[in-house]
Amino acid sequence: MTPISTPDLRLDALRHWLSQHADRLGLVLDSLAPVSGDASFRRYFRLQAASGTVIVMDAPPPHEDCAPFVRIAGLLAQGGLRVPGILAQDLAQGFLLLTDLGERTFYEALRDGLARDEAALQRHYRGALRALVALQQCPADGLPPYDEARLLEELAVFPQWYLRTHLGHTPDAAAEAALANIFNLLAQRAAAQPRVLVHRDFHSPNLMLGADTPDTTPGVIDFQDALSGPISYDIASLAMDARTTWDEARQLDWAIRYWEYARAAGLPVPDDFADFHVDYEWMGLQRNLRILGVFARLSHRDGKHHYLDHMPRVRAYVNQVAGRYAVFRPLLRLLDQAEQTPKTEGFSF
């Protein structure tokens, strides 16, 4: 029996919406092709236009809201960043037509061999560090606060999805108390940092490769969840990239360069890099514990099992930081115990 395909009603609506802009922009509607999806409900398409190629974002309400993307895009563009321009929008339907920043992300370029060309790698990543400093100089007024309560709230995915669901381990009361204390320490230190505009995922999948020149500027995408939060968050995202493994020497090099650029720009980083290094490492630990929980949830709840491929890298970043500070030893003991726990019977993909 031939399977019955489910009609894609949103795609039909999207095609109808694009037809309304076809003449003005020279859109070739038959060229519409999927680009990618992400961890959310959003999906993206590319199509030919008179000016070259353009990107279509499909962000279905009520799961997604295009308004923050439009607002943040405007802020970043005014700050001199290379972000998608908005050619047409329908916020009610969740459709955006955007300029195309190119086909290669940093992540794709790294998989294609960028990391083997040290000079080119440094040019592109120093461009990313300069872009980050420019981003942090953009006004964050009115953005939701990335405060202690929110930092704590998002850590809840770690015990729920990584420990209990993924590893099949339920911490005892003493371990729960130790974990709660560590979460509080991480959230408090992060919340005490100066606040700037935080991208939240400033890493290789969200940076578009620019021209390979000494002052190369990357394109920046996926910024719609920006918040007003800790100044060390985005450099921790970049240097401890969940999709690309960087050793400690590389992380330290980029963290120092960022700190130097930030000080020169008058951003409120600590005067002593040693203090900033602790801020950045503890921030990275908070982020990577959350990521372990999020990746586990994406696999177990949403069937996106490819996120599990990145878990060993993120787990190594956790070990790197937690192993340096005595206060995090209970976390390492808990992880060692959890990883030795037999998985839940019948667990499979």
Pick from 346, 328, 349, 47: which is nearest to 168 by CA? 346
- Which pair of structure tokens corresponds to residue 130? 């300069």
∠ CA 329-330-332, nearest 5°, is 65
Residue 9's pLDDT is what? 87
pLDDT tens digits for range 126-162: 999 999 999 999 999 999 999 999 999 999 999 999 9
Q: Is the pLDDT of residue 348 over 60?
A: no
Q: Give this prediction's pTM.
A: 0.93
Q: Would you say 63 and 70 are in contact if contact means Cβ atoms under 8 Å apart?
A: no
Contacts of 32 (CB under 8 A, 6+ apart): 15, 18, 45, 46, 47, 56
Residue 4's pLDDT is what? 52
- Which pair of structure tokens corresponds to residue 147? 């405060």
Give the helix, strand, coil percentages of the chain, each rounded to 5: 50, 15, 35
CA atoms within 13 A on the CB side of 76: 28
Residue 343's pLDDT is what? 62
CA atoms within 13 A on the CB side of 52: 8
Q: In this structure, what are the phi and psi dihedrals at residue 99, rounded to the nearest 5 degrees? A: -70, 155
CA atoms within 13 A on the CB side of 77: 11
Q: Is the pLDDT of residue 346 over 50?
A: no
If DSSP states are collapsed to H, E and C, what string results for 129-193?
Answer: HHHHHHHHCCCCCCCCECCHHHHHHHHCHHHHHHHHHHCCCCCCHHHHHHHHHHHHHHHHHHHCC
Q: Is the pLDDT of residue 2 over 60?
A: no
**Mean pLDDT over the full length of the chain:** 94
Instruction: State how far the Cα of 3 lies from the Cα of 5, in Å rounded to an integer.
Output: 6
pLDDT tens digits for range 202-232: 999 999 999 999 999 999 999 999 999 999 9
Q: What percent of the chain has pLDDT over 90?
A: 91
Residue 92's pLDDT is what? 96
User: What is the mean pLDDT of the segment spanning 327-341?
Assistant: 94
Residue 1's pLDDT is what? 46
* pLDDT band for position 345 (cuts 50, 70, 90): very low
- Three-state SS for 84? coil
pLDDT tens digits for range 34-62: 987 565 788 999 999 999 999 999 999 98
pLDDT tens digits for range 267-300: 999 999 999 999 999 999 999 999 999 999 999 9
Pick from 254, 142, 162, 267: which is nearest to 207 by CA? 254
Kind of pairing between the strands at 195-198 and 28-37: unpaired
Q: Is the pLDDT of residue 177 over 90?
A: yes
Residue 6's pLDDT is what? 62
Residue 37's pLDDT is what? 59
CA dist 3 → 6, 7 (Å): 9, 12
Q: Is the pLDDT of residue 13 over 90?
A: yes
Pick from 199, 174, 147, 190: which is nearest to 283 by CA? 190
Name which of 166-180, 211-225, 247-261, 334-348 the model is least confident about: 334-348
